[in-house]
Amino acid sequence: MKELIRVLKAILAIFQQSKLVSYKGENLQSIESKLRAFYQSSASDHYYEELLALSAGEELSHFYDMKRRYRFLELCEQAEIILDFGCGAGNLALALSNHFPSKPIFANDIGKSAGCLLKEPIPKNFTFKKASVLNSQFDIASFDLVISKYVIEHVVYPDDMIKEAHRILKPNGYLYLVYPHLIFRADVGTILKELVSWATFSRKLTYLDPQVDSDKPLLESDDDAAWLSNPVKIQRMMKDCGFDIVANKPTQSLLIAKKRDF
């Protein structure tokens, strides 16, 4: 009951946010360029400052949020090598390295202030790489567990991100992916269009016009989203990229996928 109440409150909060703006053009590179400029600007620092604030105590940290999600600690304990795929300020990755001191913990992100939480002394079992989730620069079959929290919605080509996760995972490795239900922030017409897309098994994504300004901080979370992320489209991409779906937990905004051992 407590979990249901928490989910209902979260959905209500989403409905109270401003509506996301659909992208009307055809040139997806314009979305990509807009987001890249924002993430490399000083305006994005505000986002990372908010992430830093979350590290004030475990009760507010990314790790506290993650460890109560389905099978998170179990999969972390099973894995030998873990990657925080698009780590932001580094809250979760740093918490993982402290919680599992004997495990190699890796993290990557491309933002201007990415990894800003990672100050000396950095745990010996921790490695940060400033690299994109589309081209992480890690070797093939490097990780047992790839964790990605609220990253995929910011990627213009999310299927390429999933392909990269597949490439760097070992056979039978797990992708633990948390996403936002952005459909609740769309207008009625966009919602209906997306539902029809689900029913017809379309792979086409509903792209958004990110409401970002390189001179101003974000007004609301996910104003920098590139597409209308949802579990239906993400699952289809995962299957197309060589994953089997292990768990789908919509109330936790969670998908767990396992790399097929061909």
What 52-56 contacts at long range (C-beta under 8 Å, 24+ apart), as own/partner pairs, is 52/89, 52/91, 52/116, 52/117, 54/91, 55/89, 55/91, 55/94, 55/117
> Average pLDDT for residues 198-214, to the nearest whole number?
89
Residue 51: inside a domain: yes
Q: Of residues 10 and 111, which shows the higher confidence score?
A: 111
pLDDT at 47: 64
pLDDT at 59: 40
Q: Of residues 159 and 187, which shows the higher confidence score?
A: 159
The domain tally of the chain equals: 1
**CA–CA separation, 168 vs 134, rounded Å?**
11
Residue 1: inside a domain: no
H-run or E-run covering 246: strand 243-249
Residue 12: inside a domain: no
Residue 192: inside a domain: no
Residue 243: inside a domain: yes
Residue 130, domain CATH: 3.40.50.150
Report CA torsion sign: 233, 132, 79, 173. Answer: positive
What digits encode the pLDDT tens for the residues 20-32? 888 988 899 999 9
Residue 146: inside a domain: yes
Most confident among 54-63, 113-122, 141-150, 220-229 (mean pLDDT):
141-150
Residue 118 near residue 108 (C-beta atoms within 8 A): no
> Average pLDDT for residues 3-14, to the nearest whole number?
57
> Average pLDDT for residues 227-241, to the nearest whole number?
96
pTM higher than 0.85: yes
Q: Return the CA Rg of the chain.
A: 18
Q: Which domain holds residue 40?
A: 28-181+230-259
Residue 131: inside a domain: yes
**CA–CA separation, 230 vs 253, rounded Å?**
9
Residue 220: inside a domain: no
